[in-house]
Amino acid sequence: MNLPETFKHQMHALLSDAEAFFQAFNDPVPVSIRLNPFKTASLNQPTLPWCTTGYQLSDRPIFTLDPRLHAGAYYVQDASCMALEAVLDQLKLKPQRILDACAAPGGKSTHLAALYPDSLVIANEVIRSRASILAENTSKWGSANLFVTSRDPASFEALPDYFDLIVADVPCSGEGLFRKDPEASKEWSLEQVELCARRQRRILAELWPSLKPGGILVYSTCTYNSLENEDQLDWLVDTQGAEPVNWSLPESWPLTQTSHGPFQTLRCYPHQQAGEGFFLALLRKPEGPSSRPKTGKRLELIPAKETSRFANWLQGEWVYRYRRSEIEAWPTRWLQELEALQVLDPAGLGLAEVKGKDLRPLPALALCRQLNQDVFSTLELTHEQAIAYLQRQALYNLSPGQGLKLASFLGWPIGWLKQVGDRANNLYPQAWRIRMQPSSDDIEKAWKQLTALLPLQAKNSG
């Protein structure tokens, strides 16, 4: 790979074994996944040492042709990023409110929702196109404690001293992704690094007021240079009074633990472990007086007497409201919190679209792990049928039936369809559809590889 000379000089200054680092750019990009512990049983093979649900794969299958991925059975994520779990585990946190501030495409948000199922997790992405991808991925993950917002970081100043834990995986120059995306190296420059550093400081300054005194900020990037990493820690100390948080991981792990002044930092390099570039450090907001959350706008809920048509669609306790032509569901346990968050306009679980007097269940409901499947008729699909469904095709030659059906694949719900005799109309979202047009032979070949690499079993399939 033709890397910028200035970048090479930078890495020689950072690494005594820089040549081995550059040689790793000729190696295949490693592949890893993280299982959804609420939907999928553990694999009978060693996990990544730093992630209890993370697995390294020996090859990269065609994930797009795996209905289990679209069902939220697992998430494809770089192994380096999963080290977040091990670092947080050192602190034994029990956060009530968590913010993933720069969340798209959703890797850390879904990880946090799984690590802290009793916490409220807000996944924010300011860029609307990326927020749509985030909403799709979090919907497929199916956790009722995970909510998406699309606001500028400055909006969070309206929630002073609110979050116990903020993860800020900030936009960066992306040096750690050059092997995965060679084109990105052509856009790299020192000017871009400096621009990214200024943007990061703006984001951090706007997020810091919403961190509760004593709360933890996880600062991370996918880049190597000190300007976007260690220098930002110094800046937070100097301008915000941030305090370092110490932690330690086993020395046998192939993760580079370094120190910067009083800070413990994590640096991941592709020549040292099977993952891409990643930097992480933890900071604490000093203890002190805490502002009480402002009383948010009360949610205008649908009266209980009007919810009988859909109140049994979900397990657990929920409240409901109208948002334009849709019905949203909100876990009752977080109603007060969600009212305080109305300044951010978070989206609840999309339950149903109102079509005159009829209700059409929405895709997120099918994928929610609190779905009460006993209420709905289920149509189990073959792999080829599931791919056709995910391409948003109509299905034919089915066993005769009528009405709304929950489409399922090997025990994982993937969406809704409406059956009419031996055919079914497809209700899968247009924006989520598979755009590949593989042949039947390609689909069969892909499935053989997927099942060999990932012999998964749905949690509810026994």
5-30+79-284: CATH number: 3.40.50.150
Please give the mean pLDDT across all residues of the chain: 95
Whole-number Å distance between alpha carbons of 163 and 344: 14
Q: What is the pLDDT of residues 150-202, one digit of tens each?
A: 999 999 999 999 999 999 999 999 999 999 998 899 999 999 999 999 999 99
* SS3 assignment, position 443: helix
pTM of the complete model: 0.96
| Catalytic site positions | 222
Phi-psi region of 20 (alpha: psi -120 to 50; beta: other; left: phi over 0): alpha
Closest CA to 32 of 88, 85, 74, 71: 74
Whole-number Å distance between alpha carbons of 151 and 166: 15
Evaluate whether 276 touches 222 at the Cβ level (below 8 Å).
yes
Q: For a pLDDT cut of 90, what percent of the chain falls above it?
A: 92
Q: Determine phi and psi for 233, rounding to 5 degrees.
A: -65, -45
| pLDDT band, residue 96 (cuts 50/70/90) | very high
Which pLDDT value is given to residue 461?
Answer: 47
Domain boundaries, the chain: 5-30+79-284, 304-367
Q: Is the pLDDT of residue 147 over 70?
A: yes
Whole-number Å distance between alpha carbons of 239 and 204: 11
Compute the average pLDDT of residues 276-291: 94
Q: What is the pLDDT of residues 295-344, one digit of tens each?
A: 667 788 999 999 999 999 999 999 999 999 999 999 999 988 888 888 89
* SS3 assignment, position 20: helix
Q: Is the pLDDT of residue 462 over 50?
A: no
